[in-house]
Amino acid sequence: MKSKSMEEMKEIGKGDKTMEDVIKYVDWFLKEEGTTFQDKIEYEKVKSEAKGREDDKKETAKNLLDMNMPVANISKATGLSEQDINNLSKNIYKN
């Protein structure tokens, strides 16, 4: 279910017993975690964006490895550690 607020989620699920139960659980869970629906949505968005940036760095590193660029230069260009790049290199060339 996509919604921008807990109120919208409750409105969408209204009348559907299963959805109402899930919404109650989500509401309880968020209170137990000491957070709000909006905070959790924002956290997941930031986490997803960070993962995307990390994936982009790894893809760039793989391309630079394919171009035989030195690992130290790739590290400077991407911000990845030399160890991470060496691990990528092992994974690329073992297949």
Residue 84 lies in a domain: yes
Q: pTM for this structure?
A: 0.57
Query: Which position has the higher pLDDT, 30 or 73?
Result: 73
For residue range 4-25, list pLDDT tens digits in order: 788 888 888 899 999 899 888 8
* Dihedral pair phi/psi, residue 48, rounded to 5°: -65, -40
For 61, the domain range is 50-95
Residue 5 lies in a domain: no
Question: For residue 1, what pLDDT is reported?
Answer: 61
The domain tally of the chain equals 1
Tokens of 8: 């919208």
pLDDT at residue 72 tops 80 = yes
Instruction: Please state the three-class secondary structure of the chain as a single string.
Output: CCCCCHHHHHHHHCCCHHHHHHHHHHHHHHHHHCCCHHHHHHHHHHHHHHHHHHHHHHHHHHHHHHCCCCHHHHHHHHCCCHHHHHHHHHHHHHC
